[in-house]
A and B are shown apart, each in its own frame.
Chain A
Amino acid sequence: MDNVNLIAIVWHRAMNNLFSIRGLIALLMSIYMIVIGAYMMDALMEAGTVTGELYTLFMDNPDMKFQWFFFDGALIKMVTMFTAPLFIFDAVSGDKKGERIGILLSRPITRVQYMIINLASAILAFGIVFFGTMIPGYFSIQPQVPGLTIEAYMATTGLMFLLGVFALCLALFISTISKSNLISFIMVFGTFSFLMLPNAMKYNSDAFLALSKATPHYYASYFTTHDVTAGSYIAYAVIIILLSLPFLALSIMKFRNEDL
């Protein structure tokens, strides 16, 4: 018998993910992201508020204020961080709970390969949804922001995509240590809610702001209107990848010697 064709397996699993209810939810969230993003970009550019913080919407609450980048970078990040895990939050826990794991791992694949298949297929599925909506989004945003080049846009969205990969690695780890899909779901989306909270709003608290800066998504919180050099993008990308890898490693370490 030949060795297994990992690419074919990843493709098969990714397509299964995409053409499912979770694929539909991810697609709708991404469309929402880009439509709202384009609309807000347009509105903010006209209002000339992109250089500073925008006090809006929650002005009635003195403890809370929106930052301007919420409407461009952070909105995309937020949706990214919640969309990506849809493809993986129940990868391992679901296979265990659904008692599929015995059948899957009786095949000539290693447990490390099994984890890589889960991650790679989720990255592929997420990537198709993400870039499938972000690329058309460029053409809707660009007419309103003439200075927005495709290179800058792709570099920024590339960082957002890497944030999605970070989300996938973290969610894979949570799925590996969880006993059930429900626990995994709560842990994954609870974690991302916590991570994204300081990015969407900030309290008048230095400690909270410090936490915001410590979280990885902070490094990709710039959008194209910032004067960020190409080198910075690469540095941000490296930082996000370096933050992702430990979660992948932990997942594999946990799973590879586990009795099933």
Chain B
Amino acid sequence: MTTLISMNITPVSGDIMGAIEIKQLKKDYKDIQALKGLDLVVEEGQVYGFCGPNGAGKSTTLKILVGLVFATGGNASIKGIDVINNGVEARKHIGYLPESYGMPGGDTPRKFLTYMGILSGMSKEDVAKAIESIAAEIHLTENLDRKIKTLSKGNKQRVGIAQAMIHDPDILLFDEPTTGLDPLGRNEVLDAMKAFAERGKTVIFSTHILSDVEKICDTVGIIHEGLLIEQGSPDELRSKHGCKDLDEVFLKVARHG
């Protein structure tokens, strides 16, 4: 906590009711301490950009929130629900897109999304409606009945986004959703996240592409070596560090730890 105060970052207090609350989260792998007591609050309705160098702990944090990785200390909650002890209930509110993921190439998006919907507790009728609605929103309609393996990378990413949104979650957790996409594809993904947030939902996404963060984020958090070392709106961070863009802020903060 001393670290956070000295860096002028608002520590998590018991009063704040965020969509996501993380307190003193720790994760040790065999020889590596991936998270060293991470504190973080994401308010409801925010688009939160989670930045940091490779190995900083971004993906680990998101995976702990989803229940794919088990924390070795601290706690985390989604809408007040403890993700460590009540993961199933917490995951009802989450849509998750991993950094790298596979989908059954022989299936159509419609079939795959139907299965994802059923896995999320939806009836077949509700899934069918949701598929049409989301497909229209993210321009997937004409590819719904083609095999996934025949789709372009951008369209596969659309299917990935659709599976995260199929059950209309309150919170989206996207792990580097724009990596590897062309500018057009990146913009579409950003637009989808923005549209989602405009409906009062919360989005937290990790990325290296800081121009993406500047475009849509309300708040940016920079994580380094398992600790949150900077947080604020893009404007706040730029003016605080006297930089013209977030790339400069990131380099300055990351280099000085």
Q: Contact residues of A with B, CB < 8 Å?
A: 1-5, 8-9, 12-13, 16, 20, 98-110, 257, 259-260
Q: How many residue pairs between the two chains, A and B, have CB atoms under 8 Å in the bound complex? A: 90
Does the CB pair A99–B68 fall under 8 Å? no
A134 vs B96: C-alpha distance in the bound complex, in angstroms?
44
Contacts A4-B121, A105-B68, A106-B95 known; list 10 others, CB within 8 Å.
Answer: A2-B121, A3-B121, A9-B118, A98-B102, A99-B101, A99-B102, A103-B160, A108-B91, A108-B120, A259-B29
Does the CB pair B118–A103 fall under 8 Å? no
A259 vs B30: C-alpha distance in the bound complex, in angstroms?
12
Asked, given contacts A107-B91, A108-B92, whether A102 binds B68 with beta carbons under 8 Å apart, the answer is yes
16 contacts between A and B (CB under 8 A): A1-B121, A1-B167, A2-B122, A8-B124, A16-B104, A20-B106, A100-B102, A103-B101, A105-B66, A107-B91, A107-B116, A108-B91, A109-B119, A110-B87, A259-B70, A260-B68
User: Which of A2, A102, A109 is B101 in contact with, Cβ under 8 Å?
Assistant: A102
Does the CB pair A103–B116 fall under 8 Å? yes
B88 vs chain A, min Cβ distance (A) = 5
Does the CB pair A106–B69 fall under 8 Å? no
Specify which chain B residues have a CB less than 8 angstroms from the CB of A100 in the assembled complex: 101-104
Specify which chain A residues have a CB less than 8 angstroms from the CB of B2 in the assembled complex: none
Determine the residue in chain A with the shortest Cβ distance to B126.
Answer: A2
Q: Contact residues of B with A, CB < 8 Å?
A: 29, 63, 66-70, 87-89, 91-92, 94-98, 100-104, 106-107, 114-116, 118-124, 160, 163-164, 167
A4 vs B97: C-alpha distance in the bound complex, in angstroms?
20
User: Which of B70, B92, B119 has the most A CB atoms < 10 Å from its CB?
Assistant: B119
B157 vs chain A, min Cβ distance (A) = 13
Does the CB pair A102–B96 fall under 8 Å? yes
A115 vs chain B, min Cβ distance (A) = 14
A113 vs B39: C-alpha distance in the bound complex, in angstroms?
31
Does the CB pair A103–B98 fall under 8 Å? yes
Does the CB pair A106–B68 fall under 8 Å? yes
B95 vs chain A, min Cβ distance (A) = 8
Does the CB pair B66–A1 fall under 8 Å? no
Determine the residue in chain B with the shortest Cβ distance to A258.
Answer: B70
Does the CB pair A259–B100 fall under 8 Å? no
A12 vs chain B, min Cβ distance (A) = 6
Asked, given contacts A12-B115, A259-B69, whether A107 binds B120 with beta carbons under 8 Å apart, the answer is yes
Specify which chain B residues have a CB less than 8 angstroms from the CB of A101 in the assembled complex: 68
Asked, given contacts A103-B163, A106-B66, A259-B70, whether A1 binds B120 with beta carbons under 8 Å apart, the answer is yes
Does the CB pair A108–B88 fall under 8 Å? yes
A100 vs B163: C-alpha distance in the bound complex, in angstroms?
12
Does the CB pair B68–A4 fall under 8 Å? no
A16 vs B120: C-alpha distance in the bound complex, in angstroms?
18
Specify which chain A residues have a CB less than 8 angstroms from the CB of B70 in the assembled complex: 257, 259
Specify which chain B residues have a CB less than 8 angstroms from the CB of A4 in the assembled complex: 118-121
B57 vs chain A, min Cβ distance (A) = 14
Specify which chain A residues have a CB less than 8 angstroms from the CB of B91 in the assembled complex: 106-108
Specify which chain A residues have a CB less than 8 angstroms from the CB of B121 in the assembled complex: 1-5, 108
Specify which chain B residues have a CB less than 8 angstroms from the CB of A106 in the assembled complex: 66-68, 91, 94-96, 98, 164
User: Which of A1, A12, A260 is B92 in contact with, Cβ under 8 Å?
Assistant: A1
Specify which chain A residues have a CB less than 8 angstroms from the CB of B102 in the assembled complex: 98-100
Specify which chain B residues have a CB less than 8 angstroms from the CB of A102 in the assembled complex: 63, 66, 68, 96, 98, 101
A150 vs chain B, min Cβ distance (A) = 37
A13 vs B104: C-alpha distance in the bound complex, in angstroms?
12
A77 vs B118: C-alpha distance in the bound complex, in angstroms?
35
Asked, given contacts A1-B92, A103-B96, A108-B88, whether A259 binds B118 with beta carbons under 8 Å apart, the answer is no
A3 vs B122: C-alpha distance in the bound complex, in angstroms?
8
A8 vs B123: C-alpha distance in the bound complex, in angstroms?
9
Specify which chain B residues have a CB less than 8 angstroms from the CB of A1 in the assembled complex: 92, 120-122, 167
